[in-house]
Amino acid sequence: AAGVIQSPRHLIKEKRETATLKCYPIPRHDTVYWYQQGPGQDPQFLISFYEKMQSDKGSIPDRFSAQQFSDYHSELNMSSLELGDSALYFCASSLDPGYEQYFGPGTRLTVT
């Protein structure tokens, strides 16, 4: 069965650079969520989209923005990167808000 696709899988950036993470949800899933997982921590919710509109916002820094496109894929844009942004970034999708969420393999971002 098709799963959530994330790209790139690994990304190395320097401080103050920008990064763009991409997420392609499971076909027919219209809801996308972004989570950040720091080393030794549980995933923290950043932001979600339903039918291309932002639906919920969590602990997402102002330096980050995201959107969902007409084909339901989503991009997380991160600017002025800081060392503390180094983490695993997961995208998850669900059939509708509140349904089971399925996670992609994640993007490991390292900021040096």
Alpha helices in the chain (DSSP H): none
Q: What is the nearest approach in angstroms of other proteins to the Cβ of residue 60? A: 11
* DSSP state for residue 37 in the 8-state scheme: E
Question: Which part of the chain contacts other proteins (CB under 8 A), choosing from 17-25, 27-35, 63-71, 72-80?
Answer: 27-35
As given in the structure block, the two tokens for residue 96 are 């509708």
Distance CA(108)–CA(91), nearest Å, equals: 12
Q: Binders of other proteins: how many residues, by CB under 8 A? A: 25
Nearest residue (CB) to other proteins, 18 versus 99 = 99
Q: 110 near 55, Cβ under 8 Å?
A: no
* Residue 89 is a binding residue for other proteins (CB under 8 A): no
Q: What is the nearest approach in angstroms of other proteins to the Cβ of residue 13? A: 19
